[in-house]
Structure 1
């Protein structure tokens, strides 16, 4: 059971990194000029990472309750999924959204 728990935690961390990659991909594919694309492609994942570290991470600066943390995670992952869809990666967005759903169910069912 311990191996399963750490596998779920590892996959959750991989989802966090994938979400940052999705925001970066979206930013670099906005077709707004190279300067705006660069600012969005680097700035958006940076802001999301700061937000995650401040409120959502296990060792967050300002930790929130579990229901609020779940809500914030759903918002971040939902925006990442939307960013993929808007950037023209609809199939990948659907797959990522499905994985997020399954992984969050697993994460909060074993965390008890």
Structure 2
């Protein structure tokens, strides 16, 4: 299934916004999950940094270490799952569900679209 060009662009834009939102949520969780200011700051920086490094190494379109589709989907599930769990622990259960559902739908569409494009080129 190849998405029409306008929907492809919209889905890719949504993917970027979801990725940024996941990093922001992880930073928010880090800041809210520790007592001392130094610990809060460390977690607020470290949590999104770990997610960003994982994403850049394995899940980004130009990942340093290309993985098969299943590996990329695993990394995306870990990052978006961590963000959803973080939202839930912050008392934002409904937002956690919305993030998880929208991220899953976006990832499915992007994966189907990307695979269709790759098969068309082959």
- For Structure 1 versus Structure 2, the TM-score category normalised by the shorter chain is over 0.9
- What does 1:11-90 align with in structure 2 at a 5 Å threshold? 11-90=14-93
Aligned length: 112
Alpha-carbon contact 2:54-2:75 (below 8 Å) kept: no
Deviates more, 1:7-16 or 1:102-111: 102-111
Aligned partner of 1:106 among 106, 109, 114: 109
> Once the two structures are superposed, what CA deviation does each residue of 1:57-99 show, in whole Å capped at 9, x if it has no partner?
1111111111110111111111110011112211211111111
Deviates more, 1:17-26 or 1:91-100: 91-100
State the SS of the aligned residue for 1:77. Answer: helix
Q: TM-score, normalised by structure 2?
A: 0.86
Shift of 1:48: 1.1
Larger radius of gyration: 2
Question: Which ranges in structure 1 are unaligned for 5 or more consecutive residues?
Answer: none
Runs of 4+ aligned structure 1 residues displaced above 4 Å come to none
CA RMSD of aligned residues (A): 1.1
Shift of 1:31: 3.8
